[in-house]
Amino acid sequence: MYQNDNRLGQYALSMLTLIAFFVWTETALAEDRMATEEIRTSECMLRIDGVIYDANPCNLDEVAEGVIRFGHFDEDKAEGFWAYLIERERGGFDAYWNEEYGASHAHTRLGVLTKSEFSSADCYSRDKTVLCRNIQPDVPVYYIDYRNADAGNNALMAYLNGVEYELPHPNWEYVYPYSVDDSADFDGDGQLETIIRVGHGGNCCPADISIVSYRGDGFFNYLDEAPIPGGWGGPEIVEEQGQKLIRIYDIPAGAGSTDWQRSQRDYVIHNGRPEEVVERIEVGVPTAILGFTQEDIRNTDNQEASIDFDIDNDGALDELYCTYWERWGVLNCEANISSLTDPLELQCRQVSISPIVYGPMQSHRLICDGKLVDY
């Protein structure tokens, strides 16, 4: 009987030991998973002169009174790269980094960086320097690698889970990317698509756009087979009836332009491709006593003209003088109004004198591109 009790005791002890081992193992694994998750959700990136310096795990992340410090730094082991940013009153951030691995002071200047308006993380950039904090796991951070023509022009890059990708477009033969715009989930797959502005550096035409899509598991592609024609007013992501769409605003401008009508084009993603669903063209023209359009001035011998009219109704003639600027397709105008000390300088596609009268003097007002001119 005693021997049986002894065996049962040993068996129970063995089972308790085994259970304790499993509990310890699961606890350790859970702690490892939590530590890994903590590291991944606090990822940083320091890309300086085209080189990424590993700054993970991002254990240094401090924001206080206009000063930001982030990156990896272990003072005891003297290891890690980190950056130091000071917000400027005039805008931007004076940026520094420690450069020497493990150095406790960030003395190497990186210049004045600008915070990216559109980014999935908090990123600060200038030329070939990109510094990012709060990078989320499996969410790409897009940025432009600015290159000269000898190096093949600019390239769109993505940083994702510790890996940098270059994202060439099959039909960017005559254009190159120069800015990253807003993001949205256009196709409802739970992943974000991002608008990229592309151009060729000239002023004839506004930037076109491409749409880069991240599909998960390191898979990127472009939704557009060729860049979508852009507009001088730029793209905007809007939502109508629960659907995200891209609206492109076109303002007539650019070399040789004589158009005055603005337009809007809406694109939705259909079957994985952008599809134009509507175009709206402006028809309203302000009523006027007298005025000029780009075409009026461009067709004159010297591409200049003037109007003499008592705009302020004080009994003295005022002058509205305009020239056509071929390079940007706009009118540069100067209004000399007798009741004003200094001339008014305007840049418009259309400029006119409103027939509406104002105040006790029953004076008139100038209209520039459909808006009353303040003076």
Say how far apart CA 144 and CA 179 lie, in whole Å: 7
Cα–Cα separations (whole angstroms), residue 61 to 81, 134, 141, 199, 253: 12, 9, 18, 36, 45
CB-neighbour burial class of residue 201 (10 A; exposed 0-12, middle 13-18, buried 19+): exposed
Task: Give the HSE-up count for residue 183: Cα atoms under 13 Å, Cβ half-sphere.
Answer: 20
Helix, strand, or coil here: 134?
Answer: strand
pLDDT tens digit sequence for 149-195: 665 689 999 999 999 999 999 999 989 999 999 999 998 888 899 99
Instruction: Name the band, by pLDDT with cuts 50, 70 and 90, for residue 258.
Output: confident
- According to the model, what pLDDT value does residue 59 have? 95
- According to the model, what pLDDT value does residue 34 have? 45
> Which letter does DSSP use for residue 177 in this model?
E
- According to the model, what pLDDT value does residue 205 have? 81
Say how far apart CA 355 and CA 171 lie, in whole Å: 51
pLDDT tens digit sequence for 187-228: 888 889 999 999 987 767 889 999 999 999 999 999 999 999
Residue 77 pLDDT greater than 60, yes or no: yes
> What residues does each domain of the chain span?
1-33, 43-281, 290-372
Say how far apart CA 28 and CA 22 lie, in whole Å: 10
DSSP 200-248: -S-SSSPPEEEEEEEEETTEEEES-SSPBP--TTEEEEEEETTEEEEEE
Give the residue from 230, 355, 246 showing the smallest Cα distance to 372: 355
- According to the model, what pLDDT value does residue 165 have? 98
Give the residue from 120, 211, 124, 133 showing the smallest Cα distance to 172: 211
- According to the model, what pLDDT value does residue 7 have? 54
DSSP 281-342: E-------SEEEEHHHHHTSSSSEEEEEE-TT-SSS-EEEEEEEETTTTEEEEEEE-TTSSS
Residue 22 pLDDT greater than 90, yes or no: no
Global pTM value = 0.79
Residue 88 pLDDT greater than 90, yes or no: yes
pLDDT tens digit sequence for 302-355: 999 999 999 999 999 999 999 999 888 899 999 999 999 999 999 999 999 999
Give the residue from 70, 85, 83, 79 showing the smallest Cα distance to 103: 79
Say how far apart CA 189 and CA 220 lie, in whole Å: 14
Give the residue from 117, 115, 162 showing the smallest Cα distance to 136: 162
* Residue 155 near residue 149, CB atoms below 8 Å: no
